[in-house]
Amino acid sequence: MSSCSKRCLVLLEKCKNMNHLKQAHAHAQGSLTYACRVFERIHHPTLCICNTIIKTFLLNGNFYGTFHVFTKILQGGLSPDNYTIPYVLKACAALRDCSLGEMVHGYSSKLGLVFDIFVGNSLMAMYSVLSAVSWSVMISGYAKVGDVDSARLFFDEAPEKDRGTWGAMISGYVQNSCFKEGLHLFRLLQLAHVVPDDSIFVSILSACAHLGALDIGIYTYLNRKTVPLSLRLSTSLLDIYAKCRNLELTKRLFNSMPERNIVFWNAMISGLAMHGDGASALKLFSDMEKAGIRPDNIAFIAVFTACRYSGMAHEGLQLLHKMCSVYKIEPKSEQYGCLVDLLTRAGLFEEAMVMMRRITSNSWNGSEETLAWRAFLSACCNHGHAQLAQCAAERLLRLENHSGVYVLLSSLYGASGKHSNSRRVRDMMRNKGVDKAPGCSTVESDGVVNEFIAGEETHSQMEEIHPILEKLHMQLD
C-alpha cells in the first residue's frame, strides 16, 4: 500500500470509529475536501474505506457525494454490505428521491440484504419519509389544475401528515382563492402541534391580505413562536399591512429591514400606490434606482398604478419613456393596461386609443389583450363615452363571453337614458346563457372571517344582521 493510501486509511478509519464520531464530524467540516482528494488517489479502495467516506459525506449533508462514492463501489466491482446500504438509503430519504430509493431497494434485494435488521430499518425509515412526499406531490398536482376537492381528499387520506403535506394543502387552497379554507386548515395545523415553515406563513399571510383580515392573529402567532422574519416572510407581511390599509405599519416594517430585494421594493411601492400616495411612490421608485436596484416589469406596473390612483398622467408617460429608452424593457399588456386606465381617468381618450392600438397590434395572447380592453371599457363607461364603450365591448366579446361586459354596457345605456339599448344588451346576455356571478364580500369579526353572497339567507346571525342593515339604510336616506 502506498503512503498516500495509508494516510487516507488512517484518516477515514478515525472517522469510522464510533467513539470519535463527534470529533470526526467536526474535523470533516474543515477537511472534507482534502479527504475527498486523498480518497480519489486510491486506485483500489477497500469497501471499509468506501463505507467510511460515504458516512462522512452523509454526516456533512453532502448526499450527492454519498451517491458518487456508492457509484464508485459498483464500478469497482465491490459488493455493498449492510453498512453501505443504510447510508445510501438515508441519503435517498434526505434528497426526497423515491426513484433512487426504489433502485437501491431493488439492488439490496438482489444482494439478499433486505432481511438484515439495519437495512430493513433504513428501508422503513426511507419509505415513511418518501410516502409523505408522494402524498404532498399528489396534493400539489391536483391543486395546480384547480381540483381542490381531490387535493383535500388526498390530504385527508394521507397516512402521515408532515409539514410538507400541510403546506401543500394550505398553499393549494390559497392558490385557488379558497382563503377561508386555508385559514381554517392553518388552525387545524396549530391544533396538531405542527410547526409551520416560511412557505406556510407566506400562504397564510397571502390569504389574510386577500380577506383584509389584519387582526386574524397571524403576526401575534409569529411573535409568540419567535419565527425569524426572513425577507420572503417580511415581504408577505408588508403586503398584508398595505392591503389592510395600515400604512404606518407598512412603512415601519419597510424601514426596519436591513436587506431589500426588488420584490420587497415593489411591494412597498404598490402599498403606497394603493393608498393613493403617488408622490411618495415615485420618490421611493427613485430611491430604489439610487440604491442600485434595477426596476423590472413589476416595478413599472406598481409605479404606473401609483400614477393612476393619483391622477399623474404626465409622470406616467415619462416613466413609460424611461422604461423603453433607459431600461430597454418592452412594455407588456399589464403596463399598457395601467396606462390606458391612467390616461382615461385624466380624460385623455385619444392618447388611450393610441395605447389600445399598440396592444391590438402586438402578438400577445388573448388573456393579456382582454385585460387591457376591460380597463378601457370600464373607463369609457365611467366617463359616459357610449360610442367608444360599444366599440370596446364588441372587441371584448370577440375575446371572451363574460357577464361583466354585458353588465357594464347595459348600465351605461341605462345611465344615459337609452333604456331600449340597455334591455337589448340584457336580452342578448340572457339568450347566450351568460349568468352574472353574484356579488360577494367578507367581514372579519373577532378573528373570524364571515362571507356574504348577494341573495344568500343562510348566515347563522341573519336575523340579527337585518335590523342593523335597516337602521343603516334609514341613516343613509
pLDDT at 218: 62
* Residue 49 near residue 8, CB atoms below 8 Å: yes
Q: Are residues 388 and 464 in the same domain?
A: no
Q: Which of 88, 104, 130 is the last residue of a domain?
A: 130
CA atoms within 13 A on the CB side of 170: 28
Q: Which ranges in 145-244 belong to alpha helices (H)?
A: 148-157, 163-175, 179-191, 198-211, 218-224, 231-243
User: Does one domain contain both 433 and 460?
Assistant: no
Residue 20: per-residue pLDDT: 37
Give the total number of structural domains in the chain: 3
Could you tell me if 447 and 388 lie in one domain? no
372, 415: one domain: yes
Residues 27 and 66 both lie in one domain: yes
Backbone angles phi, psi at 257, to 5 degrees: -85, 120
The confidence score (pLDDT) of residue 295 equals 95
Question: Is the same domain home to 35 and 102?
Answer: yes
C-alpha dist (Å) from residue 461 to 122, 180, 274, 448, 465: 55, 18, 33, 13, 6
For the beta carbon of residue 75, count every other beta carbon within 10 angstroms. 8
216 within some domain: no
Q: Are residues 14 and 125 in the same domain?
A: yes
Question: Do 126 and 16 lie in a common domain?
Answer: yes
Phi first, then psi, for residue 42 (nearest 5°) are -75, 120
Boundary (domain end) residue, out of 130, 150, 175: 130
Answer whether 459's CB lies under 8 Å from 452's CB.
Answer: yes
Shared domain for 372 and 418, answered yes or no, is yes
- Return the axis-axis angle of helices 163-175 and 198-211, rounded to nearest 10°: 30
Q: Say if residue 472 is in the same domain as residue 416.
A: no
Q: What is the pTM of this model?
A: 0.57
- Domain of residue 27, residue span: 3-130
**One domain, residues 12 and 118:** yes
Please name every residue paired with 444 in a beta bridge, in sequence order, or none if there are none.
449
Question: Is residue 268 in some structural domain?
Answer: no
Asked whether residue 333 is assigned to any structural domain, the reply reads no
Contact 299, 269 (CB under 8 A): yes
Q: Quick one: 365 and 404 in the same domain?
A: yes
pLDDT of residue 209: 81
Instruction: Please indicate, yes or no, if residue 463 is contained in any of the structural domains.
Output: yes
Q: What is the pLDDT along the chain (477 residues), one digit of tens a residue?
A: 433 334 333 434 443 433 333 333 444 444 677 778 888 888 888 999 899 899 888 888 888 888 889 988 888 889 999 999 999 999 988 887 877 888 898 888 888 898 888 888 888 778 777 777 778 878 888 899 899 998 999 899 887 888 989 999 999 999 999 999 999 999 999 899 998 888 898 898 888 888 877 666 566 566 556 667 788 888 988 988 888 778 888 899 999 998 899 999 999 999 999 888 999 999 999 999 999 999 999 999 999 989 988 889 889 989 989 999 999 998 877 787 788 888 888 888 888 888 887 777 765 556 667 777 777 877 787 787 878 877 887 777 777 766 767 777 777 777 777 778 778 877 777 776 665 555 566 665 655 666 666 666 666 677 777 787 777 777 765
Q: What angle do CA 329, 335, 338 make, to 5 degrees?
A: 155
